[in-house]
Amino acid sequence: MALEIVLLTGMSGSGKSVALHALEDAGYYCVDNLPPELLSPFVALEHQHHGNRVAIAIDARSATGLPQLPQQIAQLRSQGVVITPLFLDASTGTLVRRFSETRRRHPLTRDHAQSERKALVQTIELERELLAGLREQAHVIDTSTLRASQLQSTIKHLVATQAGQLTLVFQSFAFKRGTPMDADYVFDVRMLPNPHYEAALRALTGRDAPVADFLRQQPEVLRMQEDIALFLDRWLDALAQNHRSYVTVAIGCTGGQHRSVYLVEQLAQRFGPQWTTLRRHRELD
C-alpha cells in the first residue's frame, strides 16, 4: 500500500496545532516542525516503523530549507508516495487578534520591540512571502472564521476522502463577510433573483424546499448553474492530472443564505457521481 503523507504548512496562528491533533485523531502518525532537509530521510524511516499514514508539519521557522521542498515533494511522488499538501491561512487582522489574545510572540519575532501591532503586521507579511511558494502548491483552508471544532471537522472530512484523487469542495459564503481566502474559483451570484425579498422565504435557506422551488423557476439561476458546471467539466480533468488533491469552488451571494447555498447543493449533487465532493456553507455552519 502506498505511503500517504499530509504535509501541513501555513501561517503562524492559523491553527496548525489544532489541525495536527485532528490528523492524529484520524489515525496519522504526526510530527511537528520538521526541518525540510530531513523530509526525505524521515519519510523513509516512518514508512518502515509507523505504517502508511504520516502527517508532517513544516512552517516558517525552517525558512532556510523551504526552497528545497518543491523538489523533495516531486521526488517523493516519483517514488509512489501520495502527498497531500494542506496550507492553513487567515486574514492578517485575525492573526493579529489571535496573537494579542493569547499574548504569544510570533515565532519570527526577533526582539521585544516587535510586539507592537505595526511590527507584528510586518512580521506576518514577511511570513506570507516566505510561505508563498508552498501556498501555491497546497489546498488552502481559510481559518479566519472557523472555531477549533470546525477546523478539526474540516480536516477530518478532507483526509477521509480517497487519497490520490481530486476532491471537489463547494462552499457558499456571504460577500458582506469577505471572500474566502481558500477559494480556487469564486463565482458571484448576487445578480440573481433574491428569495430574501419574499417574505415567506426570508427565514429559510437554500437547503429548504420552498427556496429551492423558487430558485429553480428562475431562468437566470439555471443559466448560472449550467455555466459553472460547464466550466468545471472543462477543467477538472486537467487539474486532477496536475496533482491537485482539492479544488475549492466558492459561490457567494449577499447573505450566504439562499442563492449561494442552493447552487452549492445543486452542483455538489451534479458532480457527486463523478468526483469526491464536499460541501460547506460558511455562514450557516
The reply to whether 59 sits in an annotated binding site is yes
Would the annotation count 188 as a binding residue? no
Which of 148, 157, 120, 112 shows the shortest CA–CA distance to 248?
A: 157
Cα 78–Cα 237–Cα 183 angle in degrees, nearest 5: 95
Please tell me the distance from the alpha carbon of residue 151 to that of residue 153, in angstroms, as a whole number. Answer: 5
* C-alpha separations of 128 from 59, 60, 150, 169 in Å: 11, 9, 24, 24
Q: Is 10 annotated as a binding residue?
A: yes
Whether residue 60 is annotated as binding a ligand: the answer is yes
- Residue 62 assigned to a binding site: yes
Does 65 appear as a known binding residue? no
Task: Name the residue with cell 455555466.
Answer: 227
100 annotated as ligand-binding:
no
Confirm whether residue 17 is marked as ligand binding: yes
The Cα 157–Cα 285 span in angstroms is 14
What is the grid cell recorded at 74? 516531486
Determine the number of helices (DSSP H) and then strands (DSSP E) in the chain: 9, 9
Q: Where are the beta strands (DSSP E) in the chain?
A: 4-10, 29-31, 53-57, 82-89, 139-142, 167-174, 185-188, 246-253, 276-281
229 is in an annotated binding site: no
Length of the chain as a residue count: 285
> Is 25 labeled as ligand-binding?
no
For the record, the C-alpha cell of 188 comes out as 458571484
Q: From the annotation, which residues make up the binding site for GTP?
A: 59-62
Binding-site annotation, residues? 10-17, 59-62
- Binding positions for ATP are 10-17
